[in-house]
Structure 1
Amino acid sequence: MVARLALKHRVADEVTCFDRNLERARMFLDFEDSHDIPVEEADAINSEMLSSKLSGYDFVVNTLPTFVRINEREKLLNPIVMQASLKAGVPYMDLACYGGRRRTAEQLALSAAFRREHNLAIINAGASPGLTNLLAREAYEDLDKVFSIKVMSLEDQKGPSFLISWSREEMLNVATPVLVYRNRRYAFIEPFSESIECNFPAPEGSVRCYPVSNDESYTIPVYLRTQDFDYYAGGSDIEILRALYRLGVLEEKTLIVRGKRVSLRSLLYQILKEPSSPRSYLSAIEEGELEDAFFAVGVVAIGEISGEKGLSSRSVFFPSQRRVNNLLPGATYITYPTALVVIALLQSLKGRNLHGVFPLEALPGVVRRNILETLEEHKIFVNREFKVEEK
């Protein structure tokens, strides 16, 4: 979707896709606007080979899952691709971090190396994380002092079927321990262990949301001075994962199968289907299996302004799946806005002399504003609210 939008909106003169499965990659480009996009074979685990293939390009966008399973072990992909970009001297961008038991995103460990090489890396640069981080910074700057920041996400499908819109790796990661930042301290809590009502723009309104593993927690407390940070998600997609978690299907435990010890999560990884094909969302709508699907994000910052309590919020309701089917056939209600944020970033970074590793909340104000203006040109509008209450 990033490749197709980059050509459609003339962000790039040439685009090449790299994948280790050429047939599957071409399936995702089997649309009239992208037949001519070349696909080359490459394996992200081979940093040396990848580096030689990246040489000469103006930007590399890493849209891989954050890890790959090799013999029951998880191998992180972001650092490998970042190292390849560094060696090739090409600016880098990715859409998510692995996080895990760390307190900060793994990509930040390469900040000094990117500065030293006068190179740029933009990390966690999709819709959530990504746009949510930028909106958190915008709300944060409305206040003199910030006590808490809350990020909310809604992923909701309407209809009898459930279609996987992300990779299996990232979907299962949602049900892992959740990093929170409370009273200026990091802690891990159980996923789905709490619930709150979150307000989203119409037509969704109030939705029951839960703490789930997220990427925002691994950068926002690093760059924005706050006492508390939490992330909550809701909607049918999250409710399905919550049900599986409560049934014990997503637990980190092992079973004995034919005399061998096998992790339950690994079994589920093998059982789950690959992410739905590009045309599956088109046919699901046409055949009535999917009525529609929705994606929205929100940010609320609470603090002080001029000695009084202040609340600043931002929210975005992205185009529904039915609308996306017309805007970019083959994209989903999540991949379309994610790719669109990448395109807005690429446009906004042209001519900027930035070195180092940046999540979106750490970008200069002029770049952040330009990103929002570019998204508005694509009919992605930010709802803003600001309240001051007397103490």
Structure 2
Amino acid sequence: MKIAVIGCGLVGSLIARLATSEKIAEEVACFDKDPDRAKKYLSYPDPLDIPIVEADALNLEAFSGTLSNYDYLVNALPTFIKKDKKEILLNPLLMSVALKANINYVDLACYGGKRKRAEQLSMAKQFLSQGLLALINMGVSPGLANILAREAYEDLEEVDELSIMTLEDQKGSTFVIPWSREEMLNVASIDLAYKNKQFFFREPFAEARVCNFPEPIGSIRCYSVSNDEAYTIPSLLKINSFAYLAGGSDIEMLRALYRLGFFEDTPIKIRKTYVSPREFLYYVLQTPISPDYVLKVMQEGDLEDAQFALQVKAIGNISGEKAVSTRYILFPGQRTINKVLPGATYITYPTALSLVAVLRAVKGKRLKGVLPGELLPRPIRRIVLDYIRGKKIHIGEEFKTIIE
């Protein structure tokens, strides 16, 4: 397998490093508009012989001839970029490049917005007609969350509600943006909800629940937030309702900013300039952190530890009885990740590892079309989960009937 990674930031560089060190791919190349930064990320902690090509995502078609030498185009960019105050969606753009180069495609998330289905699904016919595969929303959440959702879903004959709960929690005196500011801001955007087989939009943080995670986490107050899973799961699985809830210090921080009005799009006048609070927040947030910064804040004690956890619950019926099927995964904390893969974060490590696990699972398989995690065949899903377990990451499951 030969893969070309577009966007060599915190996640893209990690995907390239893992695909190389785990021997998932025989050849890996990175395309990035900032080769110096990409080289720095790829060389941490040890230099890897991964070629870097200077390229702009908005002009990637110029490289379609070069890309045709690869099997997969891995899109590790944010779902959009801002240009002259306009948001340009990158998934459709890069999917078109993959089609032109006649290679398979992978990305990490969807833009979503005010549509009710992921934008990538609209290109299913093109990928099917060319016999190509597009693996969409293939990080950890979305991605691994969708795979676990399908596993729990198949335990029941009928599913009333499918819910996904995540924990993003930091402990310390500083706050680290663990991925990108674009995706962080997206969490506090308008939320696509699905109840009683009906889609509707609502404000972020509109719903709150106490979610019971496995020990040692325990009970956490979680909130409804914008998510990618809502743009595929309700449309592709037969369920009555879908819920996505997130908790932890990262979410509480975003909720506080939202309540203070920092996500408003209406411009306000500051001296002689008009600027929206959201745009102001976007530009004052720190630029993507570097691998050495992650270790630095840990060594200095500013960031004591951080963790990501994921839980999926399907409630429905089987053999005439009400039942609940649960899947959960507890990823290692930041301290442990620093030892396993220095420079990775508690979000980038699960994200890159999940995508690489999927690439490994589909290697040599004849799949085509546009597929999110919930549409992967069961044998593929099992290979992915076994690979994650092989990294000493605990994946648990529980099934029980409910006596009313």
Fold shared, TM-score > 0.5 on shorter chain: yes
Cα distance, 1:308–1:242 mapped onto 2, change above 3 Å: same
1:94 aligned partner: 107
* Counterpart residue identity of residue 174, structure 2: S
SS, match of residue 383 in structure 2: helix
* Counterpart residue identity of residue 312, structure 1: S
Q: 1:281, 1:332 within 8 Å by CA — same for their partners in 2?
A: yes
Q: 1:44, 1:50 within 8 Å by CA — same for their partners in 2?
A: no
Task: Report whether the alignment pairs 1:126 with 2:139.
Answer: yes
Q: 2:187, 2:226 within 8 Å by CA — same for their partners in 1?
A: yes
| Number of aligned residue pairs | 391
Q: For 1:209 and 1:91, locate their aligned partners in 2 and report how far apart those are by CA, in whole Å.
A: 37
2:283 aligned partner: 270
Q: For 2:57 and 2:32, locate their aligned partners in 1 and report how far apart those are by CA, in whole Å.
A: 8
1:31 aligned partner: 44
2:4 aligned partner: none
1:296 to 294, 304, 309: 309
2:29 to 8, 11, 16: 16
Where do 4+ consecutive residues of structure 1 move more than 6 Å?
Answer: none
Report Cα offsets for 1:289-310 as digits up to 9, x if no partner.
Answer: 1110000010010000000000
- Superposed, which structure 2 residues align to 1:113-152 within 5 Å? 113-152=126-165
* Counterpart residue identity of residue 18, structure 2: L
Report Cα offsets for 1:21-65 as digits up to 9, x if no partner.
Answer: 112212211324444222111111114214233120121211100
2:300 aligned partner: 287
Report Cα offsets for 1:191-215 as digits up to 9, x if no partner.
Answer: 1122101112222111000011100
SS, match of residue 137 in structure 1: helix
Q: For 2:162 and 2:85, locate their aligned partners in 1 and report how far apart those are by CA, in whole Å.
A: 36
Report Cα offsets for 1:249-271 as digits up to 9, x if no partner.
Answer: 11222112454432221121111
Q: 2:308, 2:347 within 8 Å by CA — same for their partners in 1?
A: yes
Structure 1 stretches of 5 or more lacking a match?
Answer: none
User: Is 44-53 or 283-292 further displaced after alignment?
Assistant: 44-53
Q: For 1:32 and 1:136, locate their aligned partners in 2 and report how far apart those are by CA, in whole Å.
A: 35
Cα distance, 1:50–1:266 mapped onto 2, change above 3 Å: farther
2:71 to 43, 58, 69: 58
Q: For 1:231 and 1:212, locate their aligned partners in 2 and report how far apart those are by CA, in whole Å.
A: 7
2:251 to 224, 238, 246: 238
Q: For 1:106 and 1:185, locate their aligned partners in 2 and report how far apart those are by CA, in whole Å.
A: 19
1:360 aligned partner: 373
1:212 aligned partner: 225
Identical amino acids, percent of aligned pairs: 53
Q: 1:255, 1:262 within 8 Å by CA — same for their partners in 2?
A: yes
RMSD between aligned residues: 1.2
SS, match of residue 15 in structure 1: strand
Report Cα offsets for 1:279-338 as digits up to 9, x if no partner.
Answer: 111111111111100000100100000000000010101011001001111110111111
Q: For 2:47 and 2:353, locate their aligned partners in 1 and report how far apart those are by CA, in whole Å.
A: 16
Q: For 1:177 and 1:346, locate their aligned partners in 2 and report how far apart those are by CA, in whole Å.
A: 31
SS, match of residue 203 in structure 1: coil
* Counterpart residue identity of residue 121, structure 1: A
SS, match of residue 16 in structure 1: strand
Q: For 1:98 and 1:367, locate their aligned partners in 2 and report how far apart those are by CA, in whole Å.
A: 26
* Counterpart residue identity of residue 170, structure 2: Q
* Counterpart residue identity of residue 155, structure 1: E
* Counterpart residue identity of residue 88, structure 1: A
Q: For 1:48 and 1:126, locate their aligned partners in 2 and report how far apart those are by CA, in whole Å.
A: 25
User: Is 23-32 or 183-192 further displaced after alignment?
Assistant: 23-32
TM-score (norm 2): 0.95
2:181 to 168, 174, 177: 168
Q: For 1:181 and 1:332, locate their aligned partners in 2 and report how far apart those are by CA, in whole Å.
A: 31
* Counterpart residue identity of residue 380, structure 1: I
Report Cα offsets for 1:56-105 as digits up to 9, x if no partner.
Answer: 01212111000000111100001111111111111110000000001000
User: Is 317-326 or 248-257 further displaced after alignment?
Assistant: 248-257
Q: For 1:389 and 1:32, locate their aligned partners in 2 and report how far apart those are by CA, in whole Å.
A: 50
2:166 aligned partner: 153
SS, match of residue 46 in structure 1: helix
TM-score (norm 1): 0.98
Q: 2:268, 2:274 within 8 Å by CA — same for their partners in 1?
A: yes
2:336 to 323, 345, 357: 323
Q: 2:265, 2:279 within 8 Å by CA — same for their partners in 1?
A: no
Q: 1:200, 1:206 within 8 Å by CA — same for their partners in 2?
A: yes
Q: For 1:32 and 1:328, locate their aligned partners in 2 and report how far apart those are by CA, in whole Å.
A: 8
Q: For 2:361 and 2:46, locate their aligned partners in 1 and report how far apart those are by CA, in whole Å.
A: 24
